[in-house]
């Protein structure tokens, strides 16, 4: 009898170890520790300095638009070209959800877009409405996929952004390169301002090179910034980060941190 009891105890003990091991492994499946995103996302949501930078950008945009309006040499209709995400619409709640649940893009991106609840970036709505009143047209060139057109229209219309129609909202189709879409606008308009949070919103060349070359390009075009190019802050994501860690969203936390640290300059 004692032998039977001992045998049952051993079987139960071994089984409990196996179950425990399985339980410990399951929570990590398809998960990614995104704590490294905390400061960047909190900067967008909690730093008044971030809002100040946005106001500053659109105040400068208004000054530059007014300068263009006084330029009699410009015979074409004037156009202002803006990006959408992190330029006129704030997606930081999406990034926050990814941090809290330890998931990566594109998880929840469809659900977030379909909510159409992204709020305007500070200063964006007032400036674009002003552009409309002085006779400039606004074109939204975004790399959101075509399947998100209706929900993007709904989100922009919720806050009464101007020129929200199929002619002025230009979605991504087969490629992320925005240059062909900008060229379509330039056929009939003079683009006085390009506004975005990524350098590729200004020129395609920024999207196909490493960080060192991007710095060199910025230096060579320094007079364009605050003149024709208006940059918005985005510490949450961008090509600068992809150039460090690659496009693999399934990379381990340890490898991601190691690659990010490789971009640091210390003393």
Strand, coil or helix: what is 44?
helix
Q: Would you state the pLDDT for residue 29?
A: 42
Q: Which residue has the tokens 């704030």?
A: 90
Say if residues 41 and 152 touch (Cβ distance below 8 Å): no
Looking at every residue in the chain, the average pLDDT score rounds to: 91
CA distances from 126 to 2, 63, 130, 234 (A): 83, 13, 6, 20
Looking at the chain, how many residues does it have? 267
The pTM of the full predicted model, rounded to 2 decimals, is 0.88
* In the chain, % of residues over pLDDT 90: 83
**pLDDT tens-digit profile of 63-81?**
999 999 999 899 999 999 9
**CATH homologous superfamily for the domain 33-250:** HAD superfamily/HAD-like (3.40.50.1000)
Q: Running DSSP on this structure, what letter comes out for residue 77? A: E
Which sequence spans correspond to the domains of the chain? 33-250
Q: Maximum CA pair distance of the chain?
A: 105
CA distances from 222 to 50, 137, 229, 230, 252 (A): 22, 26, 10, 11, 37
Average pLDDT over residues 122-137: 99
């Amino acid at each position: 009898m004692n032998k039977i009891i001992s045998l049952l105890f051993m079987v139960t003990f071994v089984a409990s170890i196996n179950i425990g091991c399985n339980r410990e492994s399951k929570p990590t499946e398809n998960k990614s520790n995104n704590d490294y995103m905390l400061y960047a996302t909190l900067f967008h949501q909690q730093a008044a300095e971030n809002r100040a930078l946005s106001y500053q950008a659109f105040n400068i945009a208004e000054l530059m638009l007014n300068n263009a309006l006084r330029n009699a040499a410009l015979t074409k209709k004037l156009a202002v070209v803006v990006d959408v995400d992190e330029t006129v619409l704030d997606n930081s709640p999406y990034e926050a959800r990814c941090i809290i649940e330890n998931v990566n893009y594109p998880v929840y991106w469809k659900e977030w877009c379909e909510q159409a609840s992204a709020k305007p970036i500070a200063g964006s709505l007032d400036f674009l409405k002003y552009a409309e009143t002085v006779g400039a047209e606004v074109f939204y060139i975004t790399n959101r996929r075509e399947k998100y057109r209706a929900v993007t229209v709904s989100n922009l219309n919720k806050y009464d952004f101007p020129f929200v129609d199929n002619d002025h909202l230009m979605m991504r189709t087969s490629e992320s390169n925005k240059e062909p879409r900008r060229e379509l606008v330039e056929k009939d308009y003079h683009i006085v301002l390009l506004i975005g949070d990524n350098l590729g919103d200004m020129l395609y060349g920024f999207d196909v090179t490493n960080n060192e070359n991007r710095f060199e390009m910025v230096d060579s075009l320094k007079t364009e910034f605050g003149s024709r190019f208006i940059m918005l802050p985005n510490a949450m994501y961008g090509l600068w980060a992809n150039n460090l860690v690659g496009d693999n969203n399934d990379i381990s936390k340890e490898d991601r941190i190691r690659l990010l640290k490789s971009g640091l300059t210390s003393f």
